[in-house]
Amino acid sequence: MKHKIGLLGFGTVGQGISEILLNKKDDLKKKYGFKYDIVAVADFKFGNVYNPKGLDIALMLKEASAGKKFSKDVVDWDNHKIIKKSNTTVWCELTYTDLQTGGPAIGHVKTALESGKHIVTSNKGPAALHYPKMKKLAGKNGVRFMIEGTVVAGTPVINLATGPLAGCNISKIRGILNGTTNYMLTEMEKGMSYSDVLKVAQEKGYAEADPTGDVEGYDARAKVTILANVVMGAGIAIDEVSCEGITKITPADIEKAKKQGKRWKLIGSVEMKENKVEASVKPQMIDLTHPLAGVMGAGNALTFSTDLLGDVTIVGPGAGKKETGFAILSDLLAIHREG
């Protein structure tokens, strides 16, 4: 079967997955029998385009990097029409995250699933706010709602927990889920000021469009909510996760931790306690001997506490164009494998 892919959003991640698919086209076919066409793209800046036989993605990447609108295969269909009427089999929802309402991504996800088309997404909105409902809707329509890219980009935490670790009972998940704040804490430890380091994190592209989402812990809280619901089946809402960011950490706090052989980290945690899930995001002083203490810069890491293996820690990148693009590819390949 040839996958007919649609992309909602042609920003960093949309361009990232397009480049990967283009560069690996032959390899993916040879190794996994994965054949595809990208047939539709909907982007509010570059326009909506559709060609049932496949778009000229190389040209579109050139146009986007020059800041130009798409010139070929332009249609005047809105996003919902293009989702429904195109010959797409799977849609990658890669528009901006809105953690208040989930929109407009949530509307795209619903329309695609109701039209019997798979969804692969790195957008935290639909996953953090509506995971149980969307999963059910996907099941009802015989398609998949895939969200690996919503937590720690392409570092395979959701697939690890639900795949290889499936036979274990996971009682606790604890980790560094936000690259911006981890980078800031790392640099503040070296003596840089909070405001200077936030500026650098923005320049490096780690921070959200509005960095309040990073420094106040809201981005990590969305990821904690997703982990609680997907890995532990908690059925909790995002506002049930207590949340404190790094804005109150002072140079004196950093010194205090150093003296105690510890280091500040913004820790997201989900724990099963007497059949109840407790979830939080808060800065914690971590002993330097713990694997999470060694994760510096924009790195992310998660420790799963399990009954059969004890602690399993995975460390990897939590953001980036090719890193998040890879998450999308891994979900596309999973759909290909499992049908």
Give the interface with ligand HSE as residue ranges (CB under 6 A).
Answer: 178-180, 206-208, 214, 219, 318-319
Cβ count near 276 (within 10 Å): 9
- Residue with Cβ nearer ligand HSE (119 or 151): 151
- Residue 80's contacts (CB-CB under 8 Å, 6 or more residues apart) are 107, 108, 111
End-to-end Cα distance, the chain: 10
Residue 191 Rama label (left phi>0; alpha psi -120 to 50; beta):
left
Distance CA 212, CA 301 (A): 21
- By C-beta, is 3 or 124 nearer to ligand HSE? 124
Closest C-alpha to 149, from 17, 252, 292: 17
Least distance in angstroms from the C-beta of 174 to ligand HSE: 16
Alpha-carbon span 57 to 43, nearest angstrom: 14
How far is the C-alpha of 237 from the C-alpha of 232, rounded, in Å? 13
Q: Would you say 37 or 214 has its CB closer to ligand HSE?
A: 214
Tell the smallest beta-carbon distance from residue 285 to ligand HSE (Å). Answer: 21
Pick from 68, 69, 44, 235: which is nearest to 136 by CA?
A: 235
CB of 67 to ligand HSE, least distance (A): 23
CA nearest 21: which of 92, 124, 117, 127? 92
4 in active site = no
Choice between 63 and 216, CB closer to ligand HSE: 216
Q: Comparing C-alpha atoms, which of 155, 146, 198, 165 is closest to residue 302?
A: 155
User: Shortest Cβ distance from residue 219 to ligand HSE (Å)?
Assistant: 5
Q: Please, what is the minimum distance in Å from the beta carbon of residue 221 to ligand HSE?
A: 12
For residue 224, CA distances in Å to 95, 135, 240 come to: 21, 18, 11
Output 47 or 211, the one with its CB closest to ligand HSE.
211
Between the CA atoms of 54, 55, 61 and 62, what dihedral angle is there, to the nearest 10 degrees?
130
Place of tokens 């706090």: 253
Using the minimum distance from each CB to ligand HSE, give the nearer residue, 82 or 185: 185
Indicate the DSSP class of residue 180. H
**Among residues 124, 223, 265, 322, which one is catalytic?**
223
Minimum Å distance from CB 30 to ligand HSE? 32
Supply the residues annotated as catalytic.
223
